Structure 1
């Protein structure tokens, strides 16, 4: 990560992409866990832009067709897109704190403005490739990767004025273990590279990351890491929006991010879906902060 001297933080305390409350407190939990101090200790200049204001609807939720809180998600995504694009213009490393995973619609829209062939590592128990037709729930946090591929609701796809944001051959999904049938079909149709937990277990994280680095470095001019804390096993990260048993271990996740740091491949990152209400003494936010520092180059020795 030494090509960046500055890290710019922007929080998105939004839980409107799904029904369960709590992930709106994720950015505060990460700051409380010492995020800024830990990054400064690595020698970076840190600028915290605070949080994007979120206006909750007057009723518990709004819905256009099957999509929950569409108007609010679009508004926040547009604001985040502008904020991230401004950070990119300063040649600073954008670090976005969620919030639910729908925030990546805005973050990737802003980042895409700086790259012609943006790559994405989607570190997540879920591929988030649903559409309004395939989603079992109508939750937009299960759709952002499809939206960034140019598949989904027109208002979501057009955030930032570029669609698609990412090509299917520029995506690597790591840690998937809860995949809906519509997502499975889309993965096959688009030829998206996926390392499910089967591959992680069988190959080991070292080989998964080595292959990911080789695959993306040959195809992209920048890579965004979209890290959902539910990619990690709930034993290590209990406070997440949608926990799924049988996930990646804490240590494997450190290894993955340490290797990505050494590769200098990652040009932006977001950490999402921390739910302090479901957590144990801020354990999951502490995990997230430790992983951020690994991504930014912290070593054991």
Structure 2
């Protein structure tokens, strides 16, 4: 990393998902020694703690197709301002989730500092639903669509500008469960998706090299949004929406290592670690190991 100053921010968000427990993700990742890992790699690390996030029991779900919209919008706005401030200080924001709805705020804050930003979306899902297409109404299935300028205005217009990113600068890696509305949007917008079929046939190295060309073409920054359910549940069991047949532990490390070698990342988030569903904090340990790789850790 060109920027050796890293600021960690936890977002214990679980309003965007149906299953409880992902709010403990930031604590689990910290317990797995993320700060120590980065310090050992030579980074100057500051941990700002967690943002304040309402608990679902304290609020009404609101619209069934956009559950907890008001509360998620407020947290997204605070996260956007936090990431913006971190970037203004010349530091690298590393955001720990929480469910994937936090990407709405992370990307909004990061995009303020780039004329055009690329995004690598490492996930089993597309997260390209809107209130009109979502089967569940859970906003953690909508953040990429929101960042592309699609969805409810309260989320789309966060920060006073939209879209935050453009489809030709977005790559989804590891997809294996897409809703019909997402498939339509992918085709209409020309979003590049590398499914598990593609990874199996091409190999992760080729996928990553092609992905890097896409996200770096005409951009001045790249954001990594990594959902731990992108990995196979055998390697990362502690996630809320596991899907069999995912990216292996070793393939994930290779992807992060190639990304580190490219040295183009300007922000990152690791999301959807759910300690309640985990085995001895195994998934959080995987998250920290991948964070190590993307920040330049090598065997030799």
Task: Give 2:33's aligned residue.
Answer: 34
- What is residue 297 of structure 1 aligned with on the other side? 296
Match of 1:118 in 2: 117
Q: What does the per-residue CA deviation read over 1:103-133, in whole Å, with 9 as the maximum and x for residues that have no partner?
A: 0000000000000111100000000000101
Structure 1: state its 5+ residue gaps.
Answer: none
Instruction: State the TM-score, normalizing by the size of structure 1.
Output: 0.98
Report what 2:259 is aligned to: 260
Q: 2: distance between equivalents of 1:99 and 1:278?
A: 14
Is the CA contact 2:222–2:266 (under 8 Å) kept in the aligned structure 1? yes
Structure 1 position 220, deviation (Å): 1.1
- Counterpart CA distance in 1 for 2:159 and 2:270 is 21
1:56–1:72 Cα contact (<8 Å) kept: no
Q: Report matched runs for 1:50-199 at 5 Å.
A: 50-59=49-58, 61-64=60-63, 66-199=65-198
- Comparing 186-195 with 55-64, greater Cα deviation is found at 55-64
Instruction: Give distance in 1, aligned partners of 2:246 and 2:216.
Output: 26
* 8 Å CA contact 2:76, 2:104 repeated in 1: yes
Contact 1:94–1:268 (8 Å) recurs in 2: yes
Q: CA deviation at 1:238?
A: 0.1
Q: How far apart, CA to CA, are the structure 1 residues paired with 2:284 and 2:57?
A: 29
Separation (CA, whole Å) in 2 of partners of 1:285 and 1:141: 19
SS at match of 1:166: coil
Could you say if the C-alpha distance between residues 58 and 217 of structure 1 is closer, same or farther in structure 2, counting changes exceeding 3 Å? closer
Q: In the aligned structure 1, how far is the partner of 2:54 from the partner of 2:130? A: 24
- Stretches of 4+ moved more than 3 A in 1? 57-61
Distance in 2, Cα, partners of 1:204 & 1:58? 44
* TM-score with structure 2 setting the length: 0.98
Q: Distance in 1 between matches of 2:254 and 2:55?
A: 38
**8 Å contact kept, 1:57–1:72:** no
Higher alpha-carbon deviation: 62-71 or 169-178: 62-71
Structure 2 partner of 1:4: 3
Q: Whole-Å Cα distance in 2 between the matches of residues 9 and 203 of structure 1?
A: 34
SS at 1:85 equivalent:
helix
Whether 1:49 aligns to 2:48 is yes
